[in-house]
């Protein structure tokens, strides 16, 4: 299992995330091919910079050969033109483009795009289906935040800021790059949102901007006192889409660290996003742990919704979710929904249960559970590599299970039965253990 941790002590923006991905090992050619596949008149400018003594990768998106201005500089120039009676241009800066993460000589010249047009551009691009799905999910999150703020339908939202070419490149490259690193779980630190005010199309707002606040709902945030916008809507949408949970630095064996740079060089604080990738400990020292159990009785919920809720709970970090048929009062048949989770995720998952089901109450308790030591091993089948989860007790392997998603992907790609892939993966493992003896 490979995990990645985002240290957002100086916030996060789209270009900072791309810089960190590149610094952590994603090939520049991957991003260049992605930008070319979008066919929107953009290219990348990659450089090595220093931020408070930290060497980091800086990425700028050039649209028709021009960089995007910092947001507050762009709107100040636009107001200056208006005051002197000049004709208005139709450029728009990206919503949340932080003062510290963008610098250039001219404003962008792209008209706003609706979500439908953005979906069409991404759908036509020669990138993987997984990257397309992630890209669209990020834009969907941005659109929903804007629509809620402006009290309108999402299809009427034109991404006059977040939908510019610059943001499109940031988001799609973020999805492609994250996939290229082959990370199993993304974890994020609390986010430093900055402070002060920021100018955008609808006026001056306190930091964080309205869209950022909406996107960071449920995330742990703070301000270190810097009067700059450190978390952009694009950065917030990326975090909320790809990360599974927010937590302190996790226990891991570090493999590689990458730094993505913002434009400004703050005094006394490195303006970088740090990405750390590694493997969790092979063996769990403790044989038991405390988990939180959430339960709710459901007797009037559409069964189709139950399946959807199960998937959503797992996506949001639940350790396990299951249902049991029960007989309720007045002899009504119902389901007992049970969720196992970490204590820090309990409140978030309880809110999701209330929002997505018909229950009026959720029971909560902490329990101790004994767990076997677990580790991951990769075996090579005739169709490709498959990860296996090995469970052991007192140093002896008691169970091995092939990773379902690996086997499913191979079965679909090679048009072979899923059970054949799973059986061969287990046989390859058993064969390797016999050879070791």
What CA–CA distance (Å, rounded) separates 44 from 67? Answer: 10
Vertex 266: Cα angle to 261 and 272 (nearest 5): 25
- Model confidence band, residue 60 (pLDDT cutoffs 50, 70, 90): very high
What CA–CA distance (Å, rounded) separates 168 from 121? Answer: 10
Question: For residue 75, what pLDDT is reported?
Answer: 35
Mean pLDDT computed over 400-417: 94
Mean pLDDT computed over 195-207: 82
Residue 110 has pLDDT above 50, yes or no: no
Of 199 and 390, which is predicted with more confidence? 390
Q: Output the pTM of the full model.
A: 0.62
- Mean pLDDT over each residue of the chain, to the nearest integer: 84
Of 160 and 270, which is predicted with more confidence? 270
pLDDT (tens digit, 9 = 90+) per residue, 299-320? 888 888 999 999 999 999 999 9
Question: For residue 409, what pLDDT is reported?
Answer: 93
Mean pLDDT computed over 54-79: 67
Q: 235-239, 265-269, 417-421 — which is least confidently predicted?
A: 265-269
pLDDT (tens digit, 9 = 90+) per residue, 180-191? 999 999 999 999
Is 194 in contact with 208 (CB distance < 8 Å)?
yes
Question: Could you tell me the domains of the chain?
Answer: 3-279 (no CATH), 288-370 (3.30.70.1380), 373-436 (3.10.20.300)
Residue 176 has pLDDT above 80, yes or no: yes
Sign of the dihedral through C-alpha 411, 415, 418, 419: negative
What CA–CA distance (Å, rounded) separates 303 from 326? Answer: 14
The two three-digit tokens of residue 166, written as one number? 């610059």
> Hey, which residues does 278 pair with through a beta bridge?
3, 254
Q: 29-33, 84-88, 200-204, 216-220 — which is least confidently predicted?
A: 84-88
pLDDT (tens digit, 9 = 90+) per residue, 375-400? 888 999 999 999 999 888 766 788 89
Distances (CA, A) of 52 to 62, 232, 269: 26, 21, 6
Is 157 in contact with 115 (CB distance < 8 Å)?
yes
Question: For residue 73, what pLDDT is reported?
Answer: 38
Question: For residue 24, what pLDDT is reported?
Answer: 97
- Model confidence band, residue 88 (pLDDT cutoffs 50, 70, 90): very low
Question: For residue 190, what pLDDT is reported?
Answer: 96
Mean pLDDT computed over 220-242: 93
Mean pLDDT computed over 347-354: 96
Percent of the chain with pLDDT over 90: 60
């Amino acid at each position: 299992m490979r995990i990645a941790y985002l240290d957002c002590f100086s916030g996060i923006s789209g270009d900072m995330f791309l810089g960190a991905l590149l610094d952590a090992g994603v090939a520049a050619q991957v991003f260049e091919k992605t930008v070319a596949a979008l066919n929107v008149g953009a290219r990348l400018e990659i450089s090595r910079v220093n931020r408070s003594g930290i060497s980091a990768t800086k990425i700028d998106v050039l649209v028709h050969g021009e960089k995007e201005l910092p947001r507050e500089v762009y709107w100040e120039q636009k107001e200056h033109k208006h005051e002197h009676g000049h004709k208005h241009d139709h450029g728009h800066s990206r919503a949340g483009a932080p003062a510290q993460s963008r610098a250039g000589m001219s404003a962008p010249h792209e008209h706003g795009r609706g979500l439908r047009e953005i979906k069409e551009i991404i759908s036509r691009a020669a990138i993987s289906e997984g990257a397309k799905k992630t890209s669209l999910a990020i834009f969907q999150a941005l659109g929903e935040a804007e629509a809620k703020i402006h009290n309108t339908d999402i299809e009427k939202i034109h991404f006059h800021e977040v939908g510019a070419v610059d943001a499109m490149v940031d988001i799609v490259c973020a999805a492609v790059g994250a996939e290229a690193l082959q990370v199993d779980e993304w974890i994020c630190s609390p986010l430093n949102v900055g402070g002060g005010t920021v100018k955008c199309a609808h006026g001056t707002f306190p930091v964080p901007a309205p869209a950022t606040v909406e996107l960071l709902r449920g995330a742990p945030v703070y301000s270190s006192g810097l009067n700059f916008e450190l978390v952009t809507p694009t950065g917030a949408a990326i975090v909320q889409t790809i990360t599974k949970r927010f937590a302190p630095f996790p226990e891991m064996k570090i493999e590689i660290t990458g730094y993505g740079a913002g434009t400004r060089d703050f005094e006394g604080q490195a303006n970088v996003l740090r990405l750390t990738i590694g493997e969790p400990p092979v063996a769990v020292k403790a044989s038991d742990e405390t988990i939180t159990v959430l339960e709710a009785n459901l007797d009037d919920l559409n069964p189709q919704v139950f399946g959807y809720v199960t998937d959503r709970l797992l996506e949001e970090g639940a350790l396990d979710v299951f249902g049991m048929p029960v007989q309720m009062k007045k002899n009504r048949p119902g389901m007992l929904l049970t969720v196992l989770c970490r204590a820090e995720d309990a409140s978030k998952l309880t809110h999701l249960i209330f929002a997505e089901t018909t229950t009026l109450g959720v029971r909560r308790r902490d329990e101790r559970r004994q767990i076997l030591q677990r580790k991951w091993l990769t075996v090579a089948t005739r169709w490709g590599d498959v990860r296996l989860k090995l469970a052991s007790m007192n140093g002896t392997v008691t169970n091995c299970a092939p990773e379902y998603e690996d086997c499913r992907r191979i079965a679909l790609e090679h048009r072979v039965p899923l059970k054949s892939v799973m059986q061969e993966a287990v046989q390859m493992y058993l064969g390797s253990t016999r050879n070791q003896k």
